[in-house]
Amino acid sequence: MFSFPFSNQDFLEPRCVWVNGPVIVGAGPSGLAAAAGLKEQGVPYVLLERADCIASLWQKRTYDRLKLHLPKQFYHLPKFPFPEHYPEYPNKKQFIDYLESYANHFNIKPQFNECVESAKYDEGCRLWRVKIVSTNGSTRSEVEYICQWLVVATGENVERVMPEIEGLQNFGGEVIHASDYKSGENFRWKNVLVVGCGNSGMEVSLDPCNHDAKPSMVVRSSVHVLPREIRGKSSFELAMLMLKWLPVWLVDKILLFLTWMILGKIEKYSLKRPSVGPLELKNTQRKTPVLDIGALEKRFSFSFSFSFFFFFFFFCSSSCWLMRN
Ligand SMILES: Cc1cc2nc3c(=O)[nH]c(=O)nc-3n(C[C@H](O)[C@H](O)[C@H](O)COP(=O)(O)OP(=O)(O)OC[C@H]3O[C@@H](n4cnc5c(N)ncnc54)[C@H](O)[C@@H]3O)c2cc1C
Ligand SMILES: NC(=O)c1ccc[n+]([C@@H]2O[C@H](COP(=O)([O-])OP(=O)(O)OC[C@H]3O[C@@H](n4cnc5c(N)ncnc54)[C@H](OP(=O)(O)O)[C@@H]3O)[C@@H](O)[C@H]2O)c1
């Protein structure tokens, strides 16, 4: 990588840097995996990360009780399995430790505090122009990386979006977003309203339950809740196994039948199932099924309308047109 003196006036400000290989944006699990792959092939690259650490979503925006909800063999990065002694569902700390070891193993050194502001493909010179703002303490500088290839690994869940809800500013209680939630410890004996029935909403609701708080949940759409495990086997693993031989619609039917055997009718929790099956919905609308790890058993109340509570939590969506982490 070296500074590149372009003759075009456009390229003079900010400073231009030629990258002899791809620029990867984002040092989450995907960016690290891309970097490791390139390293293995001896391809030079630059890995840009706006935060000051790898896997910033996991390190800064997740709650204490978080565990992977897929068994570890489905979640390790290429060519570097989880350590043997890790449990089937590693917790947040174990996962972050694993990612740190991954980066060390492949000698991946991201450039931290470098936020990509824009990336444009210049048809004329067939190169990417990636503008970044770099911060170092109170110093802020702008750089433009010029490269042939761009890998965008900025994640689906890293942006937090709060919905605008009329009258919320007059609410006297505390309002927080799921990405700021850490533990139910502070909510002992409190009424808590959880907005949104994604995996975040369901899992974090368990915390107040376990701290003698009284959570309720607002669910605005139909949702697929599946048990995390069916007869001791991960539902996800079972689905992957069946998909080798059966079409998606049939696997969906079997999954829903098994779910019904374990959880019973979901309507008894005031929830509604979508008419499309869970895998098909994921494939077509990117809506992830919720994997129940015991929240339904707690039978806290689900409702389809707002009511007055002391606390609000917002559980974010990965869908870019709505709310995000
Ligand atoms: C609470 C929670 C639990 C989850 N658990 C699971 C799970 O168990 N299993 C599962 O499969 N998925 C899970 N997910 C989904 C999650 O998206 C993935 O686990 C994983 O983090 C995706 O990795 P990624 O590298 O694609 O994106 P991210 O982890 O989101 O990483 C993206 C990186 O890009 C950086 N970045 C973004 N924009 C810029 C920019 N403009 N310039 C520079 N850097 C930028 C960010 O700072 C971030 O570090 C969970 C998500 C949440 C919120
Ligand atoms: N342990 C784990 O592994 C774990 C834990 C947490 C998250 N995750 C993963 O992280 C990703 C993001 O999950 P997530 O739960 O944070 O987001 P999500 O799956 O997008 O769910 C967001 C929820 O909020 C609702 N919502 C959004 N805006 C709303 C509004 N204005 N009013 C009422 N409800 C609203 C959505 O309803 P609609 O359906 O109507 O949009 C949805 O139920 C997923 O891939 C998930 O699997 C994994």
Tens of pLDDT, residue by residue over 245-272, are 999 999 999 999 999 999 999 888 889 9
In terms of domains, do 129 and 245 share one?
no
Closest CA to 181 of 325, 68, 27, 28: 325
Question: 248-263 vs 235-243: helix axis angle to the nearest 10?
Answer: 150
pLDDT of residue 1: 55
pLDDT of residue 296: 82
pLDDT of residue 207: 81
| β-bridge pairing 290-292 and 225-227 | parallel
Shortest-distance ligand to the CA of residue 199: 2
In terms of domains, do 132 and 209 share one?
no
pLDDT of residue 167: 87
In terms of domains, do 53 and 148 share one?
yes
Segments forming the whole domain that contains residue 271 = 168-323
Measured CA to CA in angstroms, residue 197 lies from 146, 221, 292, 301 at distances of: 42, 9, 11, 12
Cα 264 to Cα 85: distance, rounded to the nearest angstrom: 35
298 and 206 in contact (C-beta within 8 Å)?
yes
Return the SS3 of 186.
helix
pLDDT of residue 5: 46
In terms of domains, do 136 and 99 share one?
yes
Using the atom order of ligand 2, give the atom closest to the CA of residue 314: 24
Strands of 15-18's sheet in order across: 2-3, 15-18, 139-147, 127-136, 114-122
pLDDT of residue 324: 29
In terms of domains, do 140 and 199 share one?
no
All residue ranges of the chain with pLDDT < 50 are: 5-12, 305-325
Q: Residues near ligand 1 with C-beta < 6 Å?
A: 25-31, 48-51, 55-57, 62, 66, 68-70, 75, 115-116, 153-158, 200, 325
In terms of domains, do 52 and 143 share one?
yes
> How far away, in angstroms, is 162 Cα from ligand 2 center?
12
In terms of domains, do 8 and 99 share one?
yes
- Report yes or no on 109 lying in a domain: yes
- Report yes or no on 158 lying in a domain: no
Residue nearest atom 8 in ligand 2 by C-alpha distance: 199
Q: Which helix (H) or strand (E) holds 283?
A: helix 278-285
Size of the chain in residues? 325
In terms of domains, do 232 and 140 share one?
no
In terms of domains, do 200 and 302 share one?
yes
Total domains in the fold of the chain: 2
Cα 211 to Cα 311: distance, rounded to the nearest angstrom: 14
323 and 196 in contact (C-beta within 8 Å)?
yes
